[in-house]
Chain A
Amino acid sequence: DGGITQSPKYLFRKEGQNVTLSCEQNLNHDAMYWYRQDPGQGLRLIYYSQIVNDFQKGDIAEGYSVSREKKESFPLTVTSAQKNPTAFYLCASKRLGAGEQYFGPGTRLTVT
């Protein structure tokens, strides 16, 4: 089946630790995105990438880092510099030139 996978669904970390969230897609999409969602709010863009080995900061990139070494993978690292990392993280992808983004199921990160 084609789609976007994010793992794990739930992730728990201690404060001060870096953590990497996985996002993989087999849709052959060029563009990939990371969003953060806090309770009762809409999604906010963290980073996006339109081609391999290139990515751009979104609206709230501070405290996060990404890489895009392969077309199908776009991992997000939540660093210890992110002051409030507990949130629901969503990955999306789309074909260049297309309108709709396809979202993964999300990873709920809790940092204590």
Chain B
Amino acid sequence: DAKTTQPNSMESNEEEPVHLPCNHSTISGTDYIHWYRQLPSQGPEYVIHGLTSNVNNRMASLAIAEDRKSSTLILHRATLRDAAVYYCILRDLRGQLTFGSGTQLTVLP
């Protein structure tokens, strides 16, 4: 299974943009890039996903590098409720998600 690499932790100030990076140098042409986030003692929550083009939704934006070997999740204005562990995941043709250890985002007031 293709793997992803993320920083263990990041900090952001409230109401500022946050850019969460992810490297996936072994991604295959059919792997989708997914992002989920998880609050303590809760199930993960879907954030966004994409294949090749940049994607926007009400929660975030996903910027995908042209060679698809990296991507960045963008939260346009971080709030305290955005503090969570963010997982960058590659979804294969079977539809399975393989979670890494994610990035712990801390939002400072």
B50 to chain A, nearest CB (A): 9
Contact among B43, B44, B95, B98 with A31 in the assembled complex (CB-CB below 8 Å)? B95
B43–A42 contact, CB under 8 A? Answer: no
On chain A, which size bracket covers the interface?
20 to 34
A-B contact count (CB 8 A): 45
Does the CB pair A106–B41 fall under 8 Å?
Answer: yes
Name the prevailing secondary structure of the B interface residues. loop
| Contact string against B for A residues 1-42, beta-carbon threshold 8 Å, 1 for contact and 0 otherwise | 000100000000000000000000000000100010000111
Given contacts A31-B95, A99-B32, contact A42 B102 (CB under 8 A): yes
Map CB proximity to A onto B25-48 as digits: 1 under 8 Å, 0 otherwise: 000000010100000011111100
User: Could you list 20 A-B pairs, sorted by A, with CB under 8 Å?
Assistant: A4-B43, A40-B101, A42-B99, A42-B100, A43-B44, A43-B99, A44-B99, A45-B96, A45-B97, A45-B98, A48-B96, A59-B98, A90-B44, A92-B43, A99-B49, A100-B49, A102-B46, A103-B43, A105-B42, A106-B43
List 6 tightest A-B contacts by C-beta distance, closest first: A103-B43, A42-B99, A100-B46, A43-B99, A99-B49, A42-B100
